Amino acid sequence: MPQTKTTLKELFSEILANLAFMFTDDEESEPSDQDVWLETSVRYLGPNRGTLVFHCPRRFTRGLAANLLGVDPEAPQVNDQSEDAVREFMNILCGQLVTQFFGSQDIYNLSIPQCRVLPEVPEFIAARDPNVASLSVDGSRIQLVHLVEGETPSPAGA
Amino acid sequence: MSHDVLIVDDSVTIRQMVKKTLDIAGLNVGEVYEASNGIEALAQLNDHPVAVMLVDINMPTMNGIQLLTRMRGNRRLKDIPIVIVSTEGSRQRIAELESIGAFGYVRKPFHPEQLRDVLKPLLGVKDHATNENDAEGALF
pLDDT tens profile B30-55: 999 999 999 999 999 999 999 999 99
CB atoms within 10 A of CB B3: 16
Residues sharing a CB contact under 8 Å with residue B26, sequence separation 6 or more, in sequence order: B116, B125, B126, B127, B129
- Domain locations in chain A? 4-148
pLDDT computed for residue B26 by the predictor: 87
Question: Å from A12 to nearest chain B CA?
Answer: 12
CB contact under 8 A, B90 and A92: no
Q: Count of alpha carbons within 13 Å of B121, Cβ hemisphere only?
A: 11
CB contact under 8 A, A81 and B10: no
CB contact under 8 A, A85 and B16: no
A82 neighbourhood in chain B, CB within 8 Å: none
What CATH class is the domain B14-122?
Answer: alpha beta
A95 closest CB neighbour out of B12, B59, B89: B89
Q: What letter represents residue B53's amino acid?
A: M
d(CA A77, CA A62): 10
- Domain locations in chain B? 14-122
Q: The domain A4-148 belongs to what CATH superfamily? A: CheC-like (3.40.1550.10)
SS3 B105: strand
CB atoms within 10 A of CB A116: 11
Q: Which ipTM score applies to this complex?
A: 0.86
pTM: 0.89
d(CA A16, CA A148): 23
Listed in order, strand segments (DSSP E) in A35-128 are: 37-45, 49-57, 109-110, 114-117
pLDDT tens sequence for chain A (158 residues):
347 999 999 999 999 999 999 999 887 778 888 899 999 999 999 999 999 999 999 999 999 999 999 999 899 989 889 999 999 999 999 999 999 999 999 999 999 999 999 999 999 988 888 999 999 998 899 999 999 987 555 555 44
CB contact under 8 A, B87 and A87: no
* Residues in a beta bridge with B107: B86
DSSP symbol at A32: P
* Residues in a beta bridge with A142: A135
Q: What is the pLDDT of residues B102-127, one digit of tens each?
A: 999 999 998 888 999 999 999 888 75
Residue A23 has phi, psi (to 5 degrees) of -125, 145
Question: Å from B130 to nearest chain A CA?
Answer: 22
d(CA B5, CA B75): 19
B93 closest CB neighbour out of A19, A81, A107: A107
A19 closest CB neighbour out of B86, B88, B109: B109
A65 closest CB neighbour out of B13, B92, B109: B13
d(CA A146, CA A130): 9
- Cβ-Cβ pairs closer than 8 A, A with B, add up to 62
For helices B12-24 and B112-123, the axis angle rounded to 10 degrees is 70
Among B74, B71, B51, residue whose Cα is nearest residue B1: B51
A95 neighbourhood in chain B, CB within 8 Å: 86-89, 107-108
